[in-house]
Amino acid sequence: MSVPEVDVHLRRTGIKGSADQPLWTAIRLSTQRISFKNYGRFMDILMCGDTSPGDEGFPLSRARSLKFDLRRRRGLPFPDIEPYRLLKVATEVFLTLHCGVDLDLRERTSSGSTDGKHFLASQEVPREKYDPNAPVEIQGKELPKAVVEEEEARYYRALTHGDIEGLWGQYLEKLPKDPEKTQADHFTLPYLALIRQKLSDVSIVESKGTDADWWETCRGIVQRKLTMPCFLELIWSYWHEEGMLVQTMNAITQRFQNVRGAAGTALAQLEIDPLRPLNNLLWGYLQDEQHRLTVRRRAYEYDHHYGISLHGQAIPEMTTADSRSKFLEAFHNLLQICSAFFKQDDDTTVVADGFTVLNALRDVHLILSEGQHNQYGDLPWTARMEMLMQEWLLARPEFREFLPTRIMVDYPEAWMDRVDAMKKLQGWTDVSVLHFRNLGIFGEQILLSIRFGSWSEFNDPAQAANWVRYWRAEIQGYIHAYRAVTGVDVTDAQQSTRFTPPSVHLRNRLASQRAGALPAAQPAGLPAARPLPVPTTSLVPRAERNSER
């Protein structure tokens, strides 16, 4: 008797969705909106008047209105800096329009829930013109089909048109009303709703549009802080600074002032003519130096947020009042656990357990929330604004004439080859700025999803498993970039150096790099090389010889 053939397949078990998946979508799309690619296009349109048929969705009228308002308020006490002032105002307008989500700009039903059709409706819609009865396409933008298809792969299930928007509306929580005031319904993230409960005795006040009405909001909780969270993470600025973005601009401005740098004549040919815009932009940037964050202030805040800092001559020994000394250990433990989870999850004979991931997420969330005070609300925004401006200046075409860039390297952003060229000239780290940029982008998305999630409330390991699956590309990208930058594999539980601050690894690698550039030792058994003749007259100018003594 013949035995019938039976097909046997090993498939992944069904994955149940979790309530906070649309939050991760919102974070991913929000961080993409403030990317340098979008910022560069925004500046081309707003500053240079460069428009194309593909810019119909650009909020030009709203941007111009904000720019006009901010230009009246933002003044600098220096002559001939109008182009730079416009650059500064336009950058602030960009972040104002594109950072985060306005959770109140959406169509609500009579029961207080939302149909979710206005997912990620940002401040591109003027609040004074908002009409809850207007057609959907006027209020906000629905997710494009390509985005929905990409989210399907991250959600591990099929999604129809409007599913993510509906889940987003169900995820938000309604804030309680003040019985003494007539207020509209306000919605916020569950994590922020928990914080609101801790301050239940404090009323919520709406921020006013004019300075004359500011006194009405001098007490209470500012409504827009609850209903319009800005998804920015300071780790983006940290990794871009470690990638030598700020140092590159410092070297250029030094040479612009005719100050001899540490690398001597490396920038001797940097002579920018006054006929092109870059000259005046750098003049304004230099004059505004006193109004920018110092490296010391950023270093202290890096320590306050993540327990990490910078190393260099401009950073003396720091005496911080509050440091997140356990963040690096908790975060790298999470990455190591995620790496082990991926191996189990790819094995269709095993059901990966997300409970260890959940515990690690709780630890990181707790540490992040402890540092979410004092300068948290403003310094990351200011640092991002300043670094976006630095990137835009470096991306100017004039720099191709002064920095020996490598044309055939396909950098994703126009400023990056300038930084790598400067690092080569100055003898800084030879690790490509691409890896530092990836650490900033991936690290920001990962930490935002941990910071704004209600991980202290969750006790379902499936929710943590969904988090790992959703952010798999970013987690693995961060692990790879960290290894490329520091030489440390954070997934190796036996490697004792994975909890050492990255700035220490970078300093050690730079020392090894410079030591390797020295002439090799003379092999044994060979005669010593004959020394070169020493010139009788020094070629160094007398003024410089005197200054070196």
Max mean pLDDT range (48-52, 353-357, 475-479): 475-479
Q: Which of 106-110, 321-325, 359-363 has the lowest mean pLDDT?
A: 106-110
* pLDDT confidence bin for 116, thresholds 50/70/90: very low
- Say whether both 120 and 269 belong to one domain: no
Question: Taking the model in full, what pTM does it have?
Answer: 0.84
Give the DSSP H or E segment for 222.
strand 221-222
Q: What is the mean pLDDT of residues 510-536?
A: 57
Domain boundary among 227, 254, 282: 227
Whether 415 contacts 36, CB under 8 Å? yes
114: helix, strand or coil? strand
In 304-370, DSSP assigns E strands to none
pLDDT of residue 368: 97
Assess whether 74 and 162 both reside in one domain: yes
Q: Give φ, ψ of 65 to 5 degrees.
A: -65, -45
User: Does residue 222 sit in the same domain as residue 243?
Assistant: no
Residues 311, 399 within the same domain: yes
**Same domain flag for 194 and 92:** yes
Asked whether the beta carbons of 398 and 272 are under 8 A apart, the reply is yes
Same domain, 390 and 326: yes
Residues 469 and 345 sit within 8 Å (Cβ to Cβ): yes
Q: What is the pLDDT of residues 24-51, one digit of tens each?
A: 999 999 999 999 999 998 888 877 766 6
First-to-last C-alpha distance (Å) of the chain: 101
Q: Is the pLDDT of residue 464 over 70?
A: yes
Same domain for 334 and 431, yes or no, is yes
Q: 335 and 393: one domain?
A: yes
Residues 70 and 154 in one domain: yes
The pLDDT of residue 546 is above 80: no
Question: In which domain, by residue range, is 60 found?
Answer: 21-208+218-227
Domain assignment of residue 528, yes or no: no
267 and 337 belong to one structural domain? yes
- How many domains are contained in the chain? 2
Beta strands 204-205 and 187-188, pairing class: unpaired
Per-residue confidence band for 293, with pLDDT thresholds at 50, 70 and 90 = very high
Compute the residue count for the chain.
549
Cβ-contact 220, 202 below 8 angstroms: yes
The reply to whether 101 falls in a domain is yes
- pLDDT of 119-176, one tens digit each? 554 433 333 333 333 332 323 457 888 889 999 999 999 998 888 988 998 999 988 7
Domain identity same for 223 and 254: no
Tell me the C-alpha distance between 150 and 260, whole Å: 51
In one-letter notation, the amino acid at residue 181 is K
170 plus 240 within the same structural domain: no
pLDDT the model gives residue 186: 79
pLDDT at position 160: 86
pLDDT confidence bin for 480, thresholds 50/70/90 = very high
Mean pLDDT of 222-251: 93
pLDDT at 387 over 60: yes
Question: Residue 265 is encoded by which pair of tokens?
Answer: 């004549």
Q: How many helices (H) and strands (E) in the chain? A: 22, 4
